[in-house]
Amino acid sequence: MGISINSPIISGELGDWNVIAIRECNEELVSLRGIHNRIIVEPQYFINNIPGALNDCLVRKTVAKKLVKAAEELPGNFSLVIWDGWRPTEVQTALFDEYKSRLKQQFSGKKEEDLDREVAKFVSVPSVNPLCPSPHLTGGAVDLSIMKGSSYVPMGTGFDDFSPLSNTNYYEILSKRKELTREENEFLQDRRLLFHCMRDAGFTNFPNEWWHFDYGDQFWASISKSDHAIYGKAQRQ
């Protein structure tokens, strides 16, 4: 195995990502279907009937190339499984509103602005502002996991589990507080495998979500300390 699961996950600092300049490179969106035999496409929002979701996963062309590189870094019986890439604005809005509705029921006394801040920890505000579009609207963000054979490797939570357990370094921190159980250690190693194969391919990770990685957008620019992003809001051709 080329990727060391003994190296801990070091989460980056996201910072004020939405003030970073964008120098759009006008790279096209491409489909990930059939791009590589170790990249599996399972568009979760289409499967779960989210309004406007596509039965495909689209990303910018360079993102697709980097995903191929990441897949080829994995051991031979492992594959990347892609859950989401570029989103139409309708999908981003539906996801934001759905999670906000859930939080409203949970915290009935919270002010709207406080709810919005809480939602934004996991679901970006559906912004079409050309200066700070939601990351998934750019084609530079991708949600994914790993499969071994035909089974998902266990990561400790499912997709879109908006809880502290979804923080990428959750089990790293837990391991400093106590001896991990056998199951928890498996979660730790599997997260390391995903994190390092994606990082080595040039992606950054959104620290709140072990499944969310970026290249070229403002999240990526902020965490990688680049002075600009190269992807703004993308349009499907």
Q: Beta-carbon neighbour count of residue 151 at 10 Å?
A: 7
Find out whether 31 and 237 touch, Cβ atoms under 8 Å: no
Q: How confident is the model at residue 1 (pLDDT cuts 50, 70, 90)?
A: very low
**For 184-193, what is the mean pLDDT?**
98
Q: How far apart are CA 83 and CA 41, in angstroms?
A: 7
The residues near 165 (Cβ < 8 Å, ≥ 6 apart) are 156, 157
Residues 6+ apart with CB under 8 A from 204: 12, 213, 214, 215, 219, 220, 223, 224
Average pLDDT over residues 178-192: 98
pLDDT of residue 169: 98
Domains detected in the chain: 17-86+136-229 (3.30.1380.10)
Buried b (16+ CB within 10 A) or exposed e, 98-115: ebbeebeeeeeeeeeeeb
Q: Which one of 9-13, 72-76, 93-97, 151-155 scores highest in mean pLDDT?
A: 151-155
Sign of CA dihedral 225, 212, 85, 123: negative
Q: Rg of the chain over CA atoms, in angstroms?
A: 17
pLDDT recorded at residue 80: 99
Output the pLDDT for position 2.
66
- The partner residues of 141 in beta bridges, in order of sequence, read 214
Comparing 80 with 123, the larger pLDDT belongs to 80
pLDDT tens per residue across span 146-183: 999 999 999 999 998 889 999 999 999 999 999 999 99
Helix or strand holding residue 204 (H, E) = strand 204-205
pTM as predicted: 0.91
Confidence band (pLDDT; 50, 70, 90) for 104? confident
Q: What is the mean pLDDT of residues 198-205?
A: 98
Distance separating alpha carbons of residues 130 and 173, to the nearest angstrom: 37
Tokens of 208: 């709140």
Mean pLDDT of the chain: 93
SS3 (DSSP) at 27: coil
pLDDT at 205: 98
- What percentage of the chain exceeds 70 in pLDDT? 96
How does residue 109 score in pLDDT terms, banded at 50, 70 and 90? low
- Please indicate whether residue 149 or residue 98 has the higher confidence score (pLDDT): 149
3-state secondary structure of 229: strand
